[in-house]
Amino acid sequence: MRAYLDNAATTRVAPEVIERMGIFFSTAYANASSLHAQGMEAKRALDEARAAIAAMINASPEEIIFTGGGSESNNLALKGVAFLQKEKRHIITSAIEHPSILGTCAFLEKQGFSVTYLPVGREGFVSAGDVESAITDQTALVSIMHANNEIGTIQDLDRIGKACAAKGVPFHTDAVQSFTKAPIDVTRMGLSLVSLASHKIHGPKGVGALYVRKGMRLQKQIHGGHQENDRRAGTENLPGIAGFAHAASLQTPEHITKMAELRDYTITEIERRIPDVIVNGSRARRLCNNVNVIFKYIEGEALLFTLSQKGIAISTGSACSSRSLRPSHVLRAIGLPHEVAHGSCRVSISRYTTKQEIDYFLDTVTAVVAQLREVSPFTKMGKYEAYTDDDHTHEGHPAA
């Protein structure tokens, strides 16, 4: 049996989406910028997709820019705002953002911007009060993600949006994980910019969108033609865009309820079957498809590979699974010590996930955790946290 439980990484493209995309490869393949009838047809399909995406976040169609994905949307939002600034050279974000936000912020710091990385609490929440007090007259943008990709915590964007509005600072959110899973309302949440991506919602890879509030100025990042309201050059990826919009339309409230039930079942059963487990993130405000747990005394990469050999796909925030050899910045930001963060396991489900797959995962992970704990020196010695004060470096390790 196989179980794909890594839907926060990417998802299966829905069969309906593949079918919808097909015509834009085979017959309706004209360039949407062309003036002939075929071009006009393509333009109509593009307009329809734009209107569909806009409607889902309470925006107007002309406020949607299609991009090459979530990372591009995040880059365009931050650099697009930053590069227009003459005086305001300060950006506020959080410690748990996606690498495409943190990486762009690090780049902007090198360009002379200052960036405030707000801390989060144990459940991963950014405080609206912290946002408000971090805003200065130099602040050009606040960027706080909607739902976290690792621990699933959904921020209170209404309150953060109010804090930004009170100080007149534009507010961006990376809603790549939450789109179609948690409501987004750009007006109610006071959002000026929103990043979206297709491949997390059973759409194709390589396409996303950025909502840009009317009147918001943005420095374009890809120069060339006048596509996308003159904000992003390049022939529109119509198969991808149409597929993205169609994928967004397929998610129903029943799907969300089903995923949330499987999520709760997974968490409850893990806690019931396996001792010494920590559940990360918030139980109350959590993405409907996210489970993130720590299995104490074992290391996540070892768990990932063992499950993988049994056909199960999950992910881990362990350092050993990353090229940097550092554990997940999100798990560190919620206050987990390194040695505990090494044992994290993220299960992310989709509307296609079955109870059989979850049961197979639960049976397998229960056995695998026990097997790895057999090999671990810490289980019998009680508190392994005690070992951290011992010696913080060892020979052969690259300096952290």
Partner 1 sequence: MYSRKVMEHFASPHNVGEIPDADGVGKVGNPVCGDVMFVYIKVKDGRLEDVRFKTFGCVSAIATSSMVTDLAKGKTLAEAERITRDDVADALEGLPPIKMHCSNLAADALHAAIEDYKKKRKGSAG
- Residues assigned a catalytic role: 320
Judged by CB under 8 A, does residue 339 bind partner 1? yes
Judged by CB under 8 A, does residue 375 bind partner 1? yes
Judged by CB under 8 A, does residue 319 bind partner 1? yes
Judged by CB under 8 A, does residue 235 bind partner 1? no
Compute CA 2 distance to the chain's CA centroid, rounded to the nearest angstrom. 24
Crossing angle for the helix pair 355-375 and 253-273, to the nearest 10 degrees? 30
Q: Which long-range contacts (CB under 8 A, 24 or more apart) does 249-258 make?
A: 249/52, 250/14, 250/16, 250/17, 250/202, 251/180, 251/181, 251/201, 251/202, 251/351, 255/351, 256/181, 256/288, 257/288, 258/351
Judged by CB under 8 A, does residue 306 bind partner 1? yes
Window of 125-133, 205-213, 236-244, 300-308 that interacts with partner 1 by CB under 8 A = 300-308
Token couple for 375? 């090999």
Which contiguous run of DSSP H or E holds residue 348?
A: strand 344-348
Judged by CB under 8 A, does residue 253 bind partner 1? no
Judged by CB under 8 A, does residue 317 bind partner 1? no
State which residue, 112 or 396, has the beta carbon closest to partner 1.
396
Closest CA to 153 of 128, 132, 176, 178: 178
Token couple for 366? 């229960």
Compute CA 315 distance to the chain's CA centroid, rounded to the nearest angstrom. 14
Size of the site for partner 1 (CB under 8 A): 37
In the list 31, 60, 116, 376, the residue contacting partner 1 (rule: CB under 8 A) is 376
Judged by CB under 8 A, does residue 295 bind partner 1? no
Judged by CB under 8 A, does residue 395 bind partner 1? yes
φ and ψ at residue 310, rounded to 5 degrees: -100, 15
Least Å from the CB of residue 314 to partner 1: 15
Least Å from the CB of residue 366 to partner 1: 17
> Which amino acid belongs to residue 206?
G
In the list 19, 305, 355, 367, the residue contacting partner 1 (rule: CB under 8 A) is 305
Judged by CB under 8 A, does residue 325 bind partner 1? yes
Least Å from the CB of residue 368 to partner 1: 11
Window of 15-23, 60-68, 156-164, 299-307 that interacts with partner 1 by CB under 8 A = 299-307
Judged by CB under 8 A, does residue 338 bind partner 1? yes
Judged by CB under 8 A, does residue 399 bind partner 1? no
Judged by CB under 8 A, does residue 320 bind partner 1? yes
Judged by CB under 8 A, does residue 382 bind partner 1? no
Least Å from the CB of residue 205 to partner 1: 22
In the list 309, 335, 354, 356, the residue contacting partner 1 (rule: CB under 8 A) is 309
Closest CA to 235 of 394, 26, 73, 31: 31
List all residues 6 or more positions away from 215 whose beta carbon is below 8 Å from its beta carbon. Answer: none
Q: Which residues of 319-347 are buried (b: 16+ CB within 10 A; e: fewer)?
A: bebeeeeebbbbbbbbebeebbbbbbbbb
Which positions from 41 to 60 touch partner 1 by CB under 8 A, shown as an x/- string?
Answer: --------------------
Judged by CB under 8 A, does residue 202 bind partner 1? no
The DSSP code for 149 is T
Tell me how far apart the alpha carbons of residues 216 and 224 are, in angstroms, rounded to a whole number. 21
Tell me how far apart the alpha carbons of residues 52 and 37 are, in angstroms, rounded to a whole number. 23
Judged by CB under 8 A, does residue 383 bind partner 1? no
Least Å from the CB of residue 394 to partner 1: 5
Judged by CB under 8 A, does residue 307 bind partner 1? no
In the list 255, 342, 346, 351, the residue contacting partner 1 (rule: CB under 8 A) is 342
List all residues 6 or more positions away from 387 whose beta carbon is below 8 Å from its beta carbon. Answer: 339, 378
The contact set with partner 1 (CB under 8 A) reads 297-299, 301-302, 305-306, 309, 318-321, 323, 325, 327, 337-339, 342, 374-378, 384, 387-388, 390-398, 400
